[in-house]
Homo-oligomer: A and B are copies of this chain.
């Protein structure tokens, strides 16, 4: 099978066979396919598309390009969750203990590999590193042992899972070929399958602060991922959620961990809580279905809500933190987490209702303060970020605090000046009452 024939076929809008896709990914791995040839193929895919069979074959080929984690020796159901990313999205950290708490009967094992953030704010690994002592690089053995012991483990992603995805992604990033539903679906799903999951819940976000700018694309991506899951024998549930304003009130690594503690104490922001319940319910339903458990006394949602309110999830969080070497003192004393040196209040200079709260501007503000990194492996400022006091629909009076900017440098730098401007500009006002945009759009379990 010749590489040029494969590229040429897609260029002409042809449909690949499984053999062609396998050959292409094999050649990408050996270097036989040069980066310019892969780039040409990726562009042909962007403009001519891949059907669901091709997308599933690509996903499978990427899974097989590297190591595949196998937890079949553990009893239970391996569950994973992925978000396409948004501003203030700390659901992963909250869901690990929540799923472990409610999924115990079904044998749920939350096996999560996460990345560091690159862009506006930190990733899950960065957020967890706000917790003193928390270790994020677990060996394979320790990861599996911890899964067996406490039903949950989270570690940083290693390069040996779906390496073909990493190769293609690096190229897509520099050739304007990122935005392709089938390529995104194959990338997301291949990593989850390689990491051993049989139940996968995807949170697909759309809006100004998300990668997907509109709802139609988000729905298409969700449907594609579900179909790929079906073809590859995995249960994939999808939730589509809006990201026109940040999720919850906290944006920034340590601030987000504090918000999770609030959530697990039953006093988290309502939007964050409802998204966690919806994502958690999808995972638990699938896992219980797989395990043959039919619990009709209480709905899954009720059990999840109880776990947030009765301390069960919080206790699981403590187990998890301790298992990964962290000091759990922050659970009762927030001052144990990195704290800002200074807090600047952003106040309303007009009265009315918050009409919009641009997630991208908030993310930009957090990034300018140092909450995110621009270069790979650059250090990150864990304590800085934004704490919102008002969200869309809230009524405000002149002088009300709209948001706090948390800074950790002794003097205000030019970047921080920019952050203050970006944060102020994120809010727009209306004289008449405003209905907040719906958080949840489509839930397919």
Contacts and interface: CB of A to CB of B under 8 A. Distances in A.
Interface string A22-52: 0000000000001111111111101110000
Main secondary structure of the interface of A (DSSP, over half): helix
Contacts of A47: 11, 43-44, 47-48
A412 interface: no
A340 interface: no
Given A36-B36, A39-B40, A40-B40, A46 B176 contact: no
A7 B176 CA distance: 6
A174 interface: yes
A86 to B, nearest CB: 22
A176 B4 contact: yes
Contacts of A36: 35-36, 38-39, 171, 174-175
A35 B37 CA distance: 9
A326 to B, nearest CB: 40
Nearest to A2: B176
A5 B43 CA distance: 14
Nearest to A40: B175
A155 interface: no
Interface string A276-315: 0000000000000000000000000000000000000000
Contacts of A7: 43, 175-176
Interface size class of A (residues with CB under 8 A): 20 to 34
Most buried by B among A5, A47, A48: A47
A177 interface: yes
A318 to B, nearest CB: 46
A442 interface: no
A149 interface: no
Contacts of A41: 43
Contacts of A48: 47
Contact of A11 (B4, B11, B38, B176): B176
Given A36-B38, A39-B36, A40-B40, A11 B174 contact: no
A20 to B, nearest CB: 13
Contacts of A35: 35-36
Contacts of A37: 39, 174-175
A180 to B, nearest CB: 9
21 contacts: A4-B174, A4-B175, A4-B176, A5-B176, A11-B43, A11-B46, A11-B47, A11-B176, A11-B177, A34-B174, A35-B35, A36-B36, A36-B38, A36-B171, A36-B175, A39-B40, A39-B175, A40-B40, A40-B175, A44-B46, A47-B47
